[in-house]
Structure 1
Amino acid sequence: MSVPLTSSVPCEPIGITPPSTLTARELDLQQQRRCLAGRPGWRPPGGYLAICLAARNQHAELPEWLDYHRRLGVSHVYVMDDASQPPLGEVLAPYIEEGLVTHRYLEDYAAIQQELKDTTCHDPQAHHRQMMMYALCLRDYGARHQWMAFIDIDEFFVFTDGTDDLPALLRGFEEYGGVGVNWRFFGSSGHKKRQANTLTAYTQCYAGNEEVHRHIKSVVQPRFTARMEGPHHGAFAPGYFAVTTSGSRVEGAFAKKPTYKRLALHHYVVKSREDFEEKMARGNVMGEESRQESFWQQIESQAVKTCYGGSKAWQRMFGKEQQAEEEEEQGQGMARRRPKGGGKARS
């Protein structure tokens, strides 16, 4: 567990152009991260790339999501547990033991809100629990990593160009504050019950040029990032900004147009009918109203294009292993069925 960075800089706005709500203390904390990363021979002690994940009662979904993103080169995942019942610790135990996951169970948000206000001078809205989680990730763990991604458990990074892993891609963007990755929305593909594998089961998607796909989610460099301004984008130090994977500048939570050059963020926003009903009951960590039946109908009516990118990504990553396991199981089955005395049956 890292020791949070601290600052005694006064709580006052900074005078930069364009106007910003960032405080001088937030920028001081950002500069501390930058100074630590600028030391000769510095290597990120927690690994090159981390993900900050806000989760609640998503026990069944975590293993698949973690196993997949670990294969993409993610060094560490900070699971910020929004008072799950039971806590997510049991399902996370093997990942914690191997060093992939840090689990933080969060419940007293009034105390967290006051602590963040005291340490950063920024007062997150009390109902925006996800933004408090993101602030804790950046403050407590940002100095441990070169990059930190802020995505949800129904979102999966999918390469579109055959890149080997996320670090290989991100090394080409280290001059920027962050990388914005455009959404690609997926529907239920007609599934009523929860599916064992998200990437292979859901193949019906929105057309690529839909307006909703202008939304990005962010992978930021903590040394250049003062705050996560919202669930989609960061607020960067003066002189720094985010770009898409095609290199165009991102303003806030939206790209000028969707781009899937090199990388996409598949957003499995409803999954099966069973999953969607659980999501409605679970609620939203941003304090927003739960999505209702009209949202389901909207997604289903627009997810009419067939997209196999996720299925192909899974196959590249796990297909050979699964085939080998199946062949081994079949071989063991044949051995069990083979009569004693050799391969031929006795007459």
Structure 2
Amino acid sequence: MAGESAHSTEYVAICAATKDAGPDVREWADYHLRLGVARIYLFDTDNPEPVEPDIADFINQGRVEYYYLPRVTPITIKLYDLCLRHASPLHAFIAFIDVDEFLVMASAERARGLPGLLKEFEQHGALAVNWRLLGPGGHAIQPGGGVLQNFLACTPVQYPENRHIKSIVNTKFVRGTSSDPHHFEYAAGASAVTLAGEQVTEAMSATVSGDRMMLYHYATKSMSQYSGKMVKGSGMGNRKGAEFLTRIDGASTEICTDALTSCKELGMEACANVTLPVGTA
């Protein structure tokens, strides 16, 4: 597959596998393309209703490379391996995240976008970005409007499960996938590091780095949406129970507006007329 230099307009891409995600995919794709992602490789799996119509313009523009796999539920890590081999020659960095995860940069970082931040990590195997889990925030059913405007209840930065990381791999050093979708294998002498410079060799970091960028993980959305997710399972074949929803809901004791603010600053239609909650900035 022909492409531009990995250090030009194709600097950073995303590989993602989605399973029955619905129209929320458009908000997710639009957000990351505006953040500076050059291309998204999207695998739509085990889904009788493809998300293609929701992102048709992005596909036609060549900004989303879309693969519809309706009758199979492949393991996400196998799709990651396929995408890694396919896309690595075209990009300096590839982020491996899910469609319920948004890269949210702190206000001081937003002006230069994701490519500007990643340039600091060109000598490392990957940038490991910590989660920030968000709960249902009182929504029993799916609310009208987008994810970023509706789900603001979040866990504190140092919540233990936020030690989980996802990887934005440096294609110069990455050598393959590992046993899970969180971390990868790298050339000798290279490793993933957090934004604080901490080396990460597994699915979780020792500490949470949350001052420059975090991966906002909308793991539950509304209670009814989570119930459906429990039945269908994830692309990795996981089926979390009701205990997870209760735990994340109870731990989401803060209000996070950075994702919504970023959405507005990026000029997204989904957030254009949304007012920030009173007392937040």
Same fold (TM over 0.5): yes
Flag the 1:221–1:49 CA change in 2: closer, same or farther, 3 A: same
Which of the numbers 104, 115, 121 marks the counterpart of 1:167? 115
Can you give the 5+ residue segments of structure 2 that lack an aligned partner in the other structure? 274-281
Counterpart of 1:241? 191
- Given candidates 147, 157, 160, the residue that maps to 1:208 is 157
Compare CA radii of gyration and give the structure with the larger one.
1
TM-score normalised by structure 1 residue count: 0.72
Aligned residue-pair number: 268
The answer as to whether partners of 2:48 and 2:70 remain within 8 angstroms in 1 is no
Q: Distance in 2 between matches of 1:319 and 1:49?
A: 20
Q: Superposition pairs for residues 142-157 of structure 1, below 5 Å?
A: 142-157=88-103
Residue aligning to 2:86 = 140
Question: Aligned pair in 2 of structure 1 residues 319, 147: CA closer, same or farther (>3 Å)?
Answer: closer
| Aligned ranges 1:111-122 → 2 under 5 Å | none
Counterpart of 1:344 in structure 2 is none
- Quick check: which one's strand share is greater? 2
The answer (yes or no) to whether the contact 1:149–1:220 under 8 Å persists in 2 is: yes
What is the one-letter code of the residue matched to 2:99?
A: I
SS at match of 2:216: strand
- Matches of 2:117 and 2:9 in 1, distance apart? 19
Instruction: Considering fraction of residues, name the structure with more helix.
Output: 1
Structure 1 CA distance, aligned partners of 2:46 and 2:173?
Answer: 31
TM alignment of 1:122-133, pairs within 5 A: 129-133=75-79
Identical-pair percentage: 32
Partner amino acid, structure 1, of 2:146: N
Distance in 2, Cα, partners of 1:85 & 1:198: 22
Q: Counterpart in 2 of 1:82?
A: 45
Question: Which of the residues 24, 32, 49 maps onto 1:61?
Answer: 24
Instruction: Report the residue type matching 1:173 in the other structure.
Output: F
Structure 1 residues 282 and 45, CA gap change in structure 2 (3 angstroms): farther
Distance 1:42 1:88 in 2: 30
- Listed one character per residue, the Cα deviations across residues 283-333 of structure 1 (whole Å, up to 9, x for unaligned) are 111122x2222221111111112222222222322379936xxxxxxxxxx
Residues 298 and 261 (structure 1 numbering): CA distance in 2 closer, same or farther, change over 3 Å? same
1:227 paired residue number: 176
Equivalence for 1:52: 15
Tell me, yes or no, if the aligned pair for 1:45 and 1:144 is still in contact at 8 Å: no
1:183–1:84 distance in 2 versus 1, CA, 3 Å: same
Residues 84-123 of structure 1 aligned to structure 2 (within 5 Å): 84-106=47-69
Q: Which runs of 5+ in 1 are unaligned?
A: 4-35, 110-126, 324-347
Following the alignment from structure 1 to structure 2, what is the Cα–Cα distance between the partners of residues 305 and 322? 23
Letter in 2 for 1:74: V
Q: After superposition, give the CA deviation of every residue in 1:224-268 in whole Å (9 maximum; x if it has no partner).
A: 111121211111011100111122211211211001131111111
Contact 2:46 2:71 in 1 (8 A): no
State the TM-score, normalized to the length of structure 2: 0.88
1:30 match = none
